[in-house]
Amino acid sequence: MRALIEIAETLIFGLFPTRAGVKVASRKANRGGGVGLAEARVPSKNARLTITNSCFAGLEIALRKRKTTLGRRLDCDICLDDSLVSDQHAAITRTDTGFHIEDLNSRHGLTLNGKEVHQRKLHNGDTIEIGNFRLRFSC
């Protein structure tokens, strides 16, 4: 089953099942908030990240906000629970020219397609590595 995650608040990925911020379901969560999964029927113009490793491999995260933050802190849009991930590690920003990723002065850096970068425009199929997480960008 393929799934698309809509960000309503914070997504938490890690090995702590009692604190997981993802509700696995075949439909969207209720309108009152929270995070839910829906069938992945997204037009190609919608950008998303797909986790390609760990127990979360295959999960797709829709990038609907102008700026999406990734890091270990719970106030990040996508929380990656890994000791190699900084509190506020990176940000993905939507602009008129496309999507850009920026390292937010993290301890261990940001890797895009195997090369360490500080800031770069994202292209369809790019692989982002943050800590032990690998994410594929698609739009």
pLDDT of residue 25: 30
Placement of tokens 């997504």 in the chain: 11
Q: Count other C-beta atoms under 10 Å from residue 54's C-beta.
A: 15
SS3 label, residue 36: strand
User: Could you report the per-residue pLDDT of 18-63, keeping only the tens digit for each?
Assistant: 333 433 332 333 333 333 333 333 333 589 999 999 888 999 999 9
pLDDT of residue 31: 39
SS3 label, residue 34: coil
Q: What is the mean pLDDT of the chain?
A: 78
Among 48, 46, 27, residue whose Cα is nearest residue 36:
27
pLDDT of residue 13: 58
How far is residue 21 CA from its own chain's centroid?
A: 13
Report whether pLDDT(83) > 70.
yes
**What would the mean pLDDT of 94-98 be, rounded to a whole number?**
93
SS3 label, residue 106: coil
pLDDT of residue 45: 59
